[in-house]
Amino acid sequence: MTLHGKRVLVTGGAGFIGSHLVRRLLAEGAKVSVQVKYNSVIDNVRLASIWRDIEVIEADLRNPDSLKQVQELAPEIVYHLAAYNHVGDSFLHITEAVDSNEKGSVNLLEAYEGYDRFVYVSTSEVYGFQTEVPFQEGSMPAPLSPYAIGKYGGELYARLKWRSFGRPVVIIRPFNAYGPYQSARAVIAETIITCLQQREVITTSATQTRDFNFVENLVDAFLLAGTASGVEGETLNVGSGEEISILDLVHKIRDLSGSDSSVRVGGLADRDGEIMRMCADNAHVRDMLGWTPAVDLDTGLRQTIDWYREYLALFESPESPLWRLAVDTATQ
């Protein structure tokens, strides 16, 4: 299956990963529609430069009525990324996390079934507590957060559509993504900004390990999952297969950014129920999609650091157009 000329819907397309996917889909010649909660280029700055190249639909997945628009779009490929996506904060916003991630996914899957491929973007967080690392797709999930429980519920419903009705669904479990445009609340983005600002980096015990994957590596896998034959019904880990501790990651970012920031380990408490080791067994996705991560961690971090250096120059400098625009608007 080729993407050229295909009608593609990306839910959550204004998000960090979604915006990278949308740009790549346009480059492949797809006709892209993006679901957002609010049709506002100000809120969706990640897509500002391509806002006129996409069709934007305003819909809240928790509201089935607003999803009637999807039937009118009649997408041939659906990438479902929209979600409440902060693991820690999901303990404060349990209802929203579960409603958005589980009920929202059910509503979307029920609203429209005319697709040739539905790619459900789950999360590595569904694995939760595991005694064996790296994680394999056949392991029994044991999610440890409302966020992960909601994502797993949506995953189960997507799998139901495949098993009971033969719908062409593929489930992706991405491991920790990083790259340009990521929220500053994510560990890599937060650490990069802190180091570039020469501030002290404060960590938890930092013994946790994660499998980090540059965002364009993930998008490579997403494109393949939407077009490859013979992958319907599959669940695929998309991770680098390499494990690094948070402490080693922090020191790596500090070195690559040329920062003099000090590092205070243990200044923050570990999150209750946190997954202490996380790493992907990616053999299955390699076999099914022929996918391998093209960008390694050091290369991806350098690119990301360079992007955030430019971001801070625009965001913090009184000489930048962004700063002047904000000041001019405030004085009118």
Domains of the chain: 7-182+212-241+279-296 (3.40.50.720)
Element (H, E) at 9: strand 7-11
- CA–CA dist 232, 217 (Å, integer): 21
Of all residues in the chain, the percent with pLDDT exceeding 90 is 83
Mean pLDDT for all residues in the chain? 93
Report the predicted TM-score, pTM, of the whole model to 2 decimal places.
0.94
Q: In the numeric block, which tokens belong to residue 119?
A: 């790619």
Q: In the numeric block, which tokens belong to residue 268?
A: 């923050």
Q: Which residues of 205-229 are buried (b: 16+ CB within 10 A; e: fewer)?
A: ebebbbbbbbbbbbbbbbbbbbbbe
Q: What is the mean pLDDT of residues 81-90?
A: 87
SS3 209: strand
Q: What is the mean pLDDT of residues 148-168?
A: 97
Q: In the numeric block, which tokens belong to residue 147?
A: 């966020």
Among residues 112, 118, 108, 113, which one has the least CA distance to residue 78? 118
**Lowest-confidence pick of 11-20, 91-100, 103-112:** 91-100
Q: What is the pLDDT of residue 330?
A: 54
Split at pLDDT 50, 70, 90, the class of 322 is confident
Split at pLDDT 50, 70, 90, the class of 270 is confident
> Any residues with CB less than 8 A from the CB of 167 and at least 6 apart, and which?
113, 115, 118, 161
